[in-house]
Amino acid sequence: AGIGYGGSCLPKDTNGLLWIAREAGYDFKIVKSVIKVNERQYKIVIEKLQKYLGKLKGKTIGVLGLAFKENTDDIRESVSIKIIGELLNEGVELKAHDPKAINNAMKVFGNVAYFEDPYKMVKDADAIVVATEWPEYKELDWRRVKDLMKGTLMIDGRNLLDSEEMKKYGFTYEGIGRRK
């Protein structure tokens, strides 16, 4: 469940395992499948946004989290970066927040509005995407977030938040790969 893995090690290591298996004459189907699923997982976010918002061009989307995981500024192979690239291709006005990775992300995407304050980032957003499981995001005042947004859609790509609680705040909540 979730939008997939990234970082500098796991993608390289799974591909390395595949190479070793091929060299040994072994068809490592499970690792092939893991890589294939991971390469597609982030696109579920785009599909869910389109399901609720229709055409994304001109919509304002906020992304919470740029690093490939919490407690780092590392954006190498970050799923967030893949999502942002797709959304920019769709013509989205993109806003982003991350406690540590903003400077690194700015080197990749200059056409994103970056915010050090998550509450300023969500202001007037049609939807938000939780893309990194920073503990700080669990602690946000979600009632305030909802009141600041223009829309109500939340795509929780990390299944970080309690779906029932988010619905009580008035969000149209979608996790990835979970029932609620």
Q: Which positions are catalytic?
A: 9
The torsion angle over the Cα atoms of residues 153, 155, 159 and 165, rounded to 10 degrees, is: 0
CA end-to-end distance (rounded Å), the chain: 12
Residue type, 108: V
